[in-house]
Amino acid sequence: MNKNKTLIVIIGPTAVGKTAMAIKVAQLFDTEIISADSRQFYKELNIGVAKPSTEELDAAPHYFIGNISITDNYNVSKYETEALQCLLEIFKTKDTAVLVGGSGLYIDAVCKGIDELPDPEEELREDIKNLFTTEGIEALRSQLKILDPIYYNEVDLANPKRLMRAIEVCLTTGKPYSSLRINKQLPRNFNIIKIGLTREREQLYDIINHRVDVMMEMGLLDEVKGLLPFKDLNALNTVGYKELFAYLTQEYSLEEAIEKIKINSRRYAKRQLTWFRRYDDISWFDANEENEIIDFLRKKF
C-alpha cells in the first residue's frame, strides 16, 4: 500500500443511513466495503443488528458481515489485523476502499491502531462474566473503581463489555488498564477521509423507533427465541436481544420490552455521536445530502 491509496470512512449513529451511503460511494469508486459494525460480525444475528439485505450485499462486495459466531473468542485486536489484511488485498486492484460502521473502537483500530493488551486466562474471564451475571453492572463498576480509578472516570459506565475488559487487563497484568493504553496513532500507508452522517435528533429518533417496529414485524422475536440458550454470551448482551430475553424470562411484558429497545437504541445513538464528535478529522453531512457528499469526495481525487 502507499499514499496513492485512500480509505473512505462512513460513520455515524445507528439507523442514520450508513449502509446505503457506503454502497453509493463504493459504486462511485468501483470498490469494496469493510464493515466496522461489531454487532454485524455475528452470523447468528440478523434482524436485530440491521444486517445488510441480500440486495445490499449484492450491490457491492462486503467483508466482515456474518464472519464469526457468537461463541467465537473475537476481539478488536484480531479485527484490526484482519481488516488491515483485507485492505491490503483490496488495494492490490483498487485505489480506494470503504470502511463503514458505528462501532467507534473498531473504526479507530483500522484508522490509527489500538493498544496491544493481553488476553486473560479463560477461568478469569469466566469469573468476571459470572460476577456480572450474578451481581450486575454495579459490581463491575465498583471493582473497576478500585483497580483503576483513572479509567473508571473515562469509560462508558453503561457498557459492561468495556468494564469487563478493563478488569481483565488489570487482574492479568497487575497494573491499571489506563497505564497500559498507549493512545498513540500508528502510521497507516494510505490516506483516510472520514465522512460523518447525522440527522436532526427528532428525525433520527423517529427512524429508530420505526425501525424497531419493522424489526418486530420481520420476526425479531423468533430470532431471539432461537438464541435463548445462548443469552448469557457476551455477544448477546446487546440492544434488541437483551430486552427480548427479559421478556422471554417474564421480566417484562412484550410491550415493555419493545419500548426498552427503542429507548436503548436512542441512547446508543447518542453515545455513538459523543464518541465520534471527539475527533476533528470528520467532515459532517446531513444523511440526506447525498449529492453534497459525492461532490466533496470527487474533489478529493
**Is 60 a domain residue?**
yes
- pTM comes to 0.82
Q: How confident is the model at residue 183 (pLDDT cuts 50, 70, 90)?
A: low
**Is 202 a domain residue?**
yes
Give CA–CA dist 265/174, Å, rounded. 36
Amino acid 122: pLDDT:
74
How confident is the model over 121-137, as a mean pLDDT?
88
27: which residues sit within 8 A by CB, 6+ positions away?
A: 59, 60
Q: Are residues 110 and 130 in the same domain?
A: no
Q: Of the ranges 127-131, 183-187, 295-299, which one carries the lowest mean pLDDT score?
A: 183-187
Say which residue, 65 or 116, is predicted with more confidence. Answer: 65
Q: Are residues 67 and 126 in the same domain?
A: no
Q: Which of 167, 160, 199, 162 is nearest to 287 (CA)?
A: 199
Q: Is 231 helix (H, G, I), strand (E, B) or coil?
A: coil
Q: Are residues 60 and 87 in the same domain?
A: yes
Q: Are residues 109 and 127 in the same domain?
A: no
- What region does 250 belong to: left with phi over 0, alpha with psi -120 to 50, or beta? left
Parent domain of 72: 6-114+184-298
Domain ends where: 180, 197, 225? 180
The DSSP element (H or E) to which 198 belongs, if any, is strand 191-198
Q: Are residues 226 and 133 in the same domain?
A: no
HSE toward the beta carbon, residue 182, CA cutoff 13 A: 10
How confident is the model over 169-189, as a mean pLDDT?
82
HSE toward the beta carbon, residue 73, CA cutoff 13 A: 7
Q: Please provide residue 133's backbone torsions phi and psi, each rounded to the nearest 5 degrees.
A: -65, -40
> What are the tens digits of pLDDT across the range 267-296?
999 989 988 988 899 999 999 999 999 999
Give CA–CA dist 16/101, Å, rounded. 11
**Is 256 a domain residue?**
yes
Q: Are residues 109 and 246 in the same domain?
A: yes
How confident is the model over 186-208, as a mean pLDDT?
95
**Is 265 a domain residue?**
yes
Q: How confident is the model at residue 111 (pLDDT cuts 50, 70, 90)?
A: very high
**Is 1 a domain residue?**
no
Q: Are residues 54 and 77 in the same domain?
A: yes
Say which residue, 219 or 161, is predicted with more confidence. Answer: 219
> What are the tens digits of pLDDT across the range 93-107?
999 999 999 988 889
Q: How confident is the model at residue 1 (pLDDT cuts 50, 70, 90)?
A: very low
Q: Are residues 29 and 57 in the same domain?
A: yes
Cβ atoms of 33 and 26 within 8 Å: the answer is: yes
In this structure, what DSSP letter does residue 53 have? P
Q: How confident is the model at residue 123 (pLDDT cuts 50, 70, 90)?
A: confident
pLDDT at 118 over 80: no
Q: Are residues 21 and 82 in the same domain?
A: yes
How confident is the model over 17-23, as a mean pLDDT?
98
Which strands make up the sheet holding 33-35, listed edge to edge? 62-63, 33-35, 96-101, 6-11, 191-198, 282-286
257, with CB counted inside 10 A (0-12, 13-18, 19+), is buried
Q: Are residues 138 and 55 in the same domain?
A: no
In the chain, the number of structural domains is 2
